[in-house]
Amino acid sequence: MARALYIHWPFCIRKCPYCDFNSHVRQDVDQARWAASMLADLRHEADIAGGEPLESVFFGGGTPSLMPPETVAALLAEAERLWGFAPGIEITLEANPSSVEAANFAALAQAGVNRVSLGIQSLREESLQFLGRLHNVGEALDAVETAQTNFDRVSIDLIYARPGQTEDAWHEELSQALALGTDHMSLYQLTIEPNTRFATDVRLGAFDPLADDPAADLFALTRALTAEAGLPAYEISNHARIGQESRHNLAYWRYRDYFGIGPGAHGRRGGTATLRHKKPENWLAAVENGGDGIKEARDLGLREQASEALLMGLRLAEGLDLGELSGRFSIAQRDLIAPEKLRLYSDLGLVRQDGSRITVTDSGMPLLDGLLAELVPEALVSA
């Protein structure tokens, strides 16, 4: 059963132009009502699937650093009462680096948070403005320092492959970020998601996204610089010192079960996919009227689970073990990934096969989406 718990806080002060997460801007949030409903949604999940102690909790969003620390504390106390916490549990909270939020870090640490993931996004003023961020570089640097004082583990997020970004510029910026000394970094290429303001901007010709070739060069540079600094990629966009990987996110990528509560949260428990109501008001009404925020709970067939496990596992540097997946989902290895496809992409140097362990190589990683479409059989995906 799941040992990872995800809690979604859906509110942000302003919508960033590249963001397609389930985040919403609201003038007033009735904090007491929200805290009570989050606790109710949590209890509902534990009623269905209590059991083994949790190994990780992750507060994501939206901007969970806007949650009152007392709500974070109440949720953690209740989760510990309901499930128990395994020794050394990882408790992460995503935070934006404004000075207002950094002022809450001590209280969040007091509440039990021991790892923070900071949405720095850039160390260049003009890029922060382009990305529509509310903080400046000085605040970002101060927030990293405050986080390092208050939390055992700190991760920072940066967005690269921005329009016009050169290798030299990214080399300098990433080196500066690495010098901050965090043990974990999430480094995402800017992608233009449908239904975002950036998608409209690109359509109207306001800017051109970086082309594929220079973006691939920046990807290669990112891997080289982080590896040199002792934070190799352990997932396509995530880099860590050995032992400092996000245990919570590894549960997703290794296709372990997880509970998800709060608006729009997904969960996987015992072969059932759960989805909460996405719009905050709908989720709130569902919890207040029915005791939980679940919109849909759907049993997944073994083939669908296997395809999800393949799509997740191939993102990881450690790859996946086809033999283990075959046993887990009672599907022959050759039906998980066709041997001729494996041979073809191994010969091209994009995939490595070591016994039944399959990994995507450094050359294959920039092509991961296309490669996944090639490797994971249609029959599994559409199961």
Cα distances from 345 to residues 85, 104, 332, 359, 368, in angstroms, run 43, 49, 20, 11, 12
For the CB of residue 23, give the shortest distance to ligand SF4 in the complex, in Å.
4
For the CB of residue 15, give the shortest distance to ligand SF4 in the complex, in Å.
5
CA 371/CA 383 separation, integer angstroms: 19
Closer residue to ligand SF4, CB minimum distance, 25 or 242: 25
Closer residue to ligand SF4, CB minimum distance, 13 or 221: 13
Closer residue to ligand SF4, CB minimum distance, 15 or 247: 15
CA 90/CA 250 separation, integer angstroms: 12
Structure tokens at 283: 């989720």
Provide the mask over 51-70, with x wherever binding to ligand SF4 is found by CB under 6 A and - wherever it is not. ----------xxx-------
| Cα dihedral 161/163/167/170 (nearest 10) | -60
Choose one: 13-21, 70-78, 171-179, 267-275; the region binding ligand SF4 (CB under 6 A).
13-21
Helix axes 69-83, 31-49, angle to 10 degrees: 20
Residue type for 138, please?
A: G
For the CB of residue 63, give the shortest distance to ligand SF4 in the complex, in Å.
5
- Name the E strands within 251-375: 259-261, 266-269, 272-276, 294-299, 320-321, 351-354, 357-360
Which residues, listed in sequence order, are joined to residue 54 by a DSSP beta bridge? 85
How is 223-236 classified by DSSP, letter by letter? Answer: HHHHHHTT--EEET
The helix, strand and coil proportions of the chain, stated in percent and rounded to the nearest 5, come to: 45, 20, 35
For the CB of residue 24, give the shortest distance to ligand SF4 in the complex, in Å.
9
Peptide bond into 62 cis (omega under 30): yes
Provide the mask over 23-42, with x wherever binding to ligand SF4 is found by CB under 6 A and - wherever it is not. x-------------------
Q: Which of 19, 46, 273, 275 binds ligand SF4 (CB under 6 A)?
A: 19
Site for ligand SF4, residues 216 to 255, rule: CB under 6 A: none
Q: Which of 2, 7, 12, 294 binds ligand SF4 (CB under 6 A)?
A: 12
- C-beta of residue 344 within 8 angstroms of C-beta of residue 333: no
Choose one: 17-25, 165-173, 182-190, 226-234; the region binding ligand SF4 (CB under 6 A).
17-25
Choose one: 16-24, 98-106, 322-330, 360-368; the region binding ligand SF4 (CB under 6 A).
16-24
Provide the mask over 77-96, with x wherever binding to ligand SF4 is found by CB under 6 A and - wherever it is not. -------------------x
Structure tokens at 216: 């691939």
Structure tokens at 34: 């929200």
Provide the mask over 97-136, with x wherever binding to ligand SF4 is found by CB under 6 A and - wherever it is not. ----------------------x-----------------
Q: What residue ranges bind ligand SF4 (CB under 6 A)?
A: 12, 15-16, 19, 21, 23, 61-63, 96, 119
